[in-house]
Chains A and B, each alone.
Chain A
Amino acid sequence: EIVMTQSPATLSVSPGERATLSCRASQSVSSNLAWYQQKPGQAPRLLIYGASTRATGIPARFSGSGSGTEFTLTISSLQSEDFAVYYCQQYNNWTFGQGTKVEIK
Chain B
Amino acid sequence: QVQLVQSGAEVKKPGASVKVSCKASGYTFAILVLHWVRQAPGQRLEWMGWINAANGNTKYSETFQGRVSISRDTSASTAYMELSSLRSEDTAVYYCAKNFLNAFDIWGQGTMVTVSS
Contacts and interface: CB of A to CB of B under 8 A. Distances in A.
Interface of A: 1, 32, 34, 36, 43-46, 49-50, 55-56, 87, 89, 91, 93-99
A96 B103 contact: no
A91 B109 CA distance: 21
Nearest to B105: A46
B35 A94 contact: yes
A49 B103 CA distance: 7
A89 B100 contact: no
B88 to A, nearest CB: 21
B47 A96 contact: yes
B107 A98 contact: no
A99 B105 CA distance: 18
A61 B103 CA distance: 21
Contact of B45 (A1, A32, A56, A87): A87
Given A43-B109, A44-B107, A95 B47 contact: yes
Interface in B79-117: 95, 97, 100-105, 107-110
Contact of B105 (A55, A89, A95, A98): A55
Nearest to B35: A94
Contacts of A45: 107
B97 to A, nearest CB: 8
Interface string B44-62: 1111000000000000011
Given A49-B101, A95-B47, A97-B44, 12 more contacts: A36-B45, A43-B97, A45-B107, A46-B100, A46-B104, A49-B100, A55-B103, A87-B45, A91-B102, A93-B47, A94-B47, A99-B44
Nearest to B45: A96
A14 B44 CA distance: 26
